[in-house]
Structures are given as C-alpha cells and as structure tokens.
Chain A
C-alpha cells in the first residue's frame, strides 16, 4: 500500500475512534492548561522571549559550519571523539564499530529522537544486542512493540489501564497497578540495566559551541544514569542542535521546558563536556558524539526551509494542531509527527512519499502561534504543497479538476454557463446518485445570486 493510502486509512480509523479521541483530548487539555499558566507565570512577555530565541537560533544557523567546528575542537580537547554521519547508515555503522571495539552486549538508552530517526533499536536487536529504553514513555512503547506517538510524550495514547495490562504481561506486575506502582515497576526493572550495560546512548537537546558541551534535559534521571554508569557514553545529535554560547541556556532551557511540558525548568539539566576527567571519581571512560546530518544540510541550503532547522523539538506544534489531535501521532508514520514533521519529513526523506502530509493541515496557523523559535510552520506547509505540485506529484485527476475549475472561474460567462448547466442536468444527475448521497446534496437554488441581483436592479 502506498504511504498516502495508509495515511488516509489510518487517519480515518483514528479520527472515528472515540476512545482514542478521549485519551488525546485529556492529554492535550491538561498540557494546554499547564503551559498557558507557566508562560504567563514565568515569562514577562512570551512573545518577546520567543522573538529573541528565534533570532538567536537563526543567527546560529547563519554561522553553523563555524560553530560545529568550534564545538568539535573544544569537546575533542577534553577527550571526546566526534564522528560525522552523513546519513542513517553511516551513523549505524559508527555505533557498530563502537560496539565491536568495546565488546558491547547490552545497551541502555535514554530518550532520543535522532536514534529513532536512524532506527537504532531494530538495528541493534538484529545483532542480538539487548537494548533497554530507560525513559518511562519509551519503555512503554518499546514493550508494546510500537513507535513513539509523540516526540515529547511517547506513550500519550496509552491509558493507565492499558499500560497496567502491558506491564502485567511483560514485567509481571499487578494488573491493577496505579501510575505510581507502574513507575516503580519500571524503576526496578531498569535499575540493573544501568550498571550492567557497557554503553549508554543518549540524544542531545543542545550542543554548545563556545564551551564544547552537550546539554540534555529530562525529569526522570534515566539520562543522567545512562551517562554516569556505563563505561562508554555515545551521544547522537542532529547538527542543528547548536547554540553559540553556554550563556544562551538561561533563556533556552526554560523556553524549552515551558513549551514542552509546562514546567518552569525540567528536573535535571545536564551539561556534559567530555568523558570522565583525570581527577574525577567516576563517569564513562570514553565518549563519542555522532553528529547526524541525514538530509539536514540539504534542507539547510533551501532558502525557504532553512528556518525549520531552528526547531528545538518541544512538541508544542503537535499539541496545538487540530489535525494531530484528531488523527494521532502514529498515522503520520514518521519519526517527527505533527506540523514540524509534515514540514521536514518530505525533505529529510522524500517528497513523493511524504508530500501528502502538507495537505493534512487546515492552515489555521496554531502551530506557528505556539512555536517558541518562531518557525513559520503553516506557510512552510503551504510551500510543501506547492513543491509537490511543481514536482508533478498531485496526480492527473486532481490537476485536471483544478484546470477545469480555474478555466470556469476565470470568466463570468463561463461560470454562469456552468451554473445553468447544473440547473438543467441536476435532475438526471440526482437520479443516478445513491439515495444516501442524494439526501445530503442540496438542490441548486432556482435563481442564482447574480440573477436575483439583476432582478433587483431593474
């Protein structure tokens, strides 16, 4: 089945699934209330702060090659190794080599969208390497054999009861567990994994050029454990994660956590500048930072779309989007769902398979309104529609319909003619319609507005 057809089928199923709808509305309503409250509680002027953040991010992109080189030399000076991966395949082979080099049998991971992007779990499991997803939401979708539903809250689509059932089946917990008991089950299940894994793989929320640092934010502590316990720490980071200065963090950290979860700041904000230092008691002996391109440098050269690389992956546009709220995260079948996913996926993957996502938008602009770095998301969606059309991907039928429509609407007399034509033929056409449709389609009025207007003028 084509990507488009399965998108249409899945969307329809989800849109009509009332239980699904209830769960999502509950989650986004609670998100909305917290986020709106925190924006006004913490920020003097949210509009101004996101303006500044957008400008800093854009200025960073304007100098991205320089910052990447600065980051590389600074973090390497502290003993980390930087590896540049042009695509998913290259990133996976780097990880394969690291695994072979350190004789890894078991991996503990913290939540990272870049590792989703390169399908790392599937790749490692094929080689009989055991992978422990340690973020609670990620663990839930891993155990369920699913992909993350949302870039920030991966298990947003699962009710407590469903998770209790899943944990009962996979982890032998009480089928009537509360949220707290389920969390404690996950804690106990993973406790050992941190200590016995030979490698911890994490993502990055920011890369800092001037200090050569990786910044990671989280609430659970699984990220910290993943880079404190195993002897090897691997970071997989998109090249666009850059910020120029450590001193940009006091704005960007609250901005990200407020947009992401409505928190003033998240529980843990970690700054990592390398593997264990000589004088230090513990920490990984080796650290690798894989800088992932995977289509980003192509997007970067596109004048219209470069701004999409400002994204800090807060997930706000997903939560705000009426389409995401209706069809849910899995229907997109992409690593990045919602408006930002529909903007970048056709470019990071291919336009022919994912161009249709831009049509899944009402162009209401809710995504643009909430973006903390002011990406003009809904205009980019419109631009993607135009790109699909230019690439001849709209289909002959649709093109033909539009051509006829344009031809008719461009002339008053043709439009009047069409109107008359419908009036004359509607009796016959209606007879051919199935009854259910006939009841829905209204009859053309006896006289058009134009005709009525003319009569009045006389």
Chain B
C-alpha cells in the first residue's frame, strides 16, 4: 500500500461530497420539474419538447459538482 497521507484522503472525500451532494440537489430539482412536465405533456402533447428541456435544467448543478470534483481530484498526485 502506498501511503498517500491524510490530506489527500480529505481531498478525495471532498471530491466525493462535491459530486454526490450536487447530484442529489439536481435530483431534487428534477423531481418537481419532471412530474410537472409529465402532467403538462398529458394535457398537451406539444409540451413534450419544452418539458424535456425544462427537466434537464437542474442538471447544471451536478455538472458544477463534477467540475469541482475533477479540479480537486487533479490535486491528488
């Protein structure tokens, strides 16, 4: 086993938290939008495209999380 030190371990945990928590937040956002979008589509089929786009809007959060995680991960040698 290679000893990578506590500091690097902390970085790894931080990267994991950044990814996981932001994905969770994105999921909570998509939950509400997704159900509303399905409802709208049921009433009017033309809403499908708009609903789909609105549903992926909160995914930005997860992407920010991933970017932060990658930046942290690059600090580990």
A and B associate in one complex: no
- Residues of B that sit less than 8 Å from A by CB: none
